[in-house]
Amino acid sequence: MACSLGDYAEARACFEQAYSIAREVGDRGVEGLWIGGLGTVAFRLGDFGEARARFGEALRLAREIGDRRFDGWWISGLGDVALNAGDHAEARARFDEALGIARELGRKDVPLLASCAGLLARLGQCPSAARLLGAVEDLTTRAGRRRTAWEQGRYDDALALCRDSLDDEALEQALGTGCRLGWSGAVDMALDALRGDV
């Protein structure tokens, strides 16, 4: 909860305490969860080196114990780190893999779609990015949740890039199309765009 509210000092303290307890009781799966949480805190604070290390460690643990539930989250986290470091090729590969896992497990990972939209916007694929942003908006609303301040900032950044590239009519049309995609359609479109098919 502290991470969602932007209280990263409190979030880090809670994750570190939970990680310590998980190590004491020998629960490797939960241990990886809290390591990944520390990666999220580091990422949001702009410490991309630590975030990469934490996400990588969490992913290694998840694979070591064969727990696919969290693979996609940590792979997506590594994609976010790559995106912010300007390594678009790695970000593309990571997001592609994470989308495949989300589809396989039936997990509606809306933040992952927002990450993909951000990458596509930075790559100048703004019609596709705007369609994904429309899907993100629709799926978030349907789930009855609100974006955190951090998520909203990321959404707004991608939307601003689209707004700079597209005229108002094209932007609204793309957003509207995205709102009608649904989860499966959005994943298909994101994968096509990441692979250069859109």
**Average pLDDT, integer, range 15-43:** 78
pLDDT digits (tens, 9 = 90+) for 116-132: 999 999 999 999 999 99
Q: Kindly report the pTM of this predicted structure.
A: 0.89
Q: Residue 133's closest CA among 177, 74, 84, 191? A: 177
pLDDT of residue 65: 86
Pick the CATH number of 1-98 from 1.25.40.10, 3.40.50.1370, 1.20.1250.20, 3.40.50.2000: 1.25.40.10
pLDDT tens profile 62-83: 898 888 878 888 999 999 999 9
Mean pLDDT over each residue of the chain, to the nearest integer: 89
How do the domains of the chain map onto residue ranges?
A: 1-98, 108-198
Average pLDDT score over residue span 79-90? 95
Q: Report which listed range, 4-8, 37-41, 160-164, is most confident.
A: 160-164
Tell me what pLDDT residue 157 has: 95
